[in-house]
């Protein structure tokens, strides 16, 4: 396991889910200097609700069917968008964002949250980033189950 994922594992070892996700969002932002936004959307009732994040103010509610996050939620898989201007239905919370990576946090086949990363650089994210974030999501999922986070 790489040092970054070890850090995520240490930060996820926290009984309070909001505290854990807050620190993890800070670690995500610090891990990559070209991110302009890093954080979480939490599944609540009929949409995705803004969770802990680092960056400019963001959309607070995203319907399940909308944007990159909506696709990630609906398909229960990571979505890497090299150029958000080419993604039909992209939600521009920050007009500076040019590429996006969204990864689901899944427990027993159900999406509980999304890790959402934005960069102001086109084609910033690559398959290796996606793989790393999927591993981070698995660490978060394990902690969520272990501590029964009620977020």
pLDDT the model gives residue 90: 61
pTM, two decimals, is: 0.94
**pLDDT reported for residue 44:** 95
From CA 147, how far away is CA 151, in angstroms rounded? Answer: 11
CA angle 141, 147, 149 (to 5 degrees): 75
Given a cut of 80, is residue 148 above it in pLDDT? yes
pLDDT tens across 59-113, in order?
999 999 899 999 999 999 999 999 988 887 666 666 678 899 999 999 999 999 9
Kindly report, residue by residue over 27-72, the tens digit of the pLDDT.
999 999 999 999 999 999 989 999 999 999 999 999 998 999 999 9
Question: In the chain, what are the domain boundaries?
Answer: 3-147
Residue 75: which residues within 8 A CB-CB, separation 6 or more?
none
Sheet containing 99-107: give its strands across: 61-63, 47-55, 35-44, 110-119, 99-107, 79-81
User: If pLDDT is split at 50, 70 and 90, which confidence band does 23 have?
Assistant: very high
For the domain 3-147, what is the CATH code? Answer: 3.30.450.40
Please say if the pLDDT value at position 5 is more than 90.
yes
pLDDT at 84: 86
């Amino acid at each position: 396991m790489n040092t970054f994922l070890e850090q995520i594992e240490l930060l996820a070892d926290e009984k309070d889910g909001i505290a854990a996700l807050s620190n993890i969002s800070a670690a995500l932002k610090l891990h990559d200097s070209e991110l302009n936004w890093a954080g979480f959307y939490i599944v609540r009732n009929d949409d995705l609700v803004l969770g802990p994040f680092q960056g400019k103010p963001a959309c607070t509610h995203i319907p399940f069917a909308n944007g990159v996050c909506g696709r990630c939620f609906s398909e229960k898989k990571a979505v890497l968008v090299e150029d958000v201007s080419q993604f039909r239905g992209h939600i521009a919370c920050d007009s500076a964002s040019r590429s996006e990576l969204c990864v689901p946090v899944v427990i027993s086949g159900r999406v509980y949250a999304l890790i959402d990363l934005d960069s102001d650089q086109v084609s910033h994210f690559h398959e290796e980033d996606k793989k790393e974030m999927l591993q981070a999501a698995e660490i978060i999922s394990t902690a969520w189950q272990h501590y029964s986070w009620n977020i």
